[in-house]
Amino acid sequence: MNDDKIKKRILITDDDEFLLEMYALKFREQGFETETAKNGEEALKKAEEKKNFDLILLDIVMPSPDGFEILATIKQKGLFPNAKIIALTNLGQKEDIDKGKQLGFDDYIIKARHTPSEVVAKVKNILK
């Protein structure tokens, strides 16, 4: 990424602090500006503060509200209107993926099937 380009801003939401920090570090190493949220409430608070993100990585399995509920709220309230929203989760059943796409996820990444570097590469591709 060229220094003269504006850095892409990403919000990573996950209740697993180890994964949260690992993904944030991976994205920062690739020139992204990152913010993190440890739960859905924190993610929605950042949305209501009118934070402007290019992309949101959203875990689904979290204490209430879960990722599906957060996505529904974001869509219902028109928060992050220009952001791509991607599920980054271990919920890999077809029903979960279908539900996520129906609710409006732009993509669905299953953690166990992708290394953090692959997740970063996929996000770069989505933001092109």
**Domain with 25 in it: what CATH number?**
3.40.50.2300
For residue 10, pLDDT beyond 90: yes
Rounded to two decimals, what is the model's pTM?
A: 0.91
Q: Is residue 51 situated within a structural domain?
A: yes
* Angstrom distances, CA of residue 50 to CA of 35, 89, 111: 13, 25, 28
Q: Is residue 2 part of a domain?
A: no
pLDDT in tens, 97-109: 999 999 999 999 9
User: Buried b / exposed e across 74-92, counting CB within 10 Å, b at 16+?
Assistant: beeeebbeebbbbbbbebe
Over residues 48-94, the pLDDT tens digits come to 787 789 999 999 999 889 999 999 999 999 888 889 999 999 999 99
Segment 3-26 mean pLDDT: 89
- pLDDT value of position 5: 64
State residue 3's pLDDT score: 44
Number of domains in the chain: 1
pLDDT in tens, 25-44: 999 999 999 999 999 899 88
> Which range of residues forms the domain containing residue 96?
9-126
Distant-in-sequence, close-in-space partners of 52: CB < 8 Å, separation ≥ 6? 9, 82
Q: Could you give the CA distance from residue 104 to residue 123 in angstroms, rounded to a whole number?
A: 17
3-state secondary structure 103-115: HCCCEEEEHHHCC
In this structure, the chain runs to a length of: 128
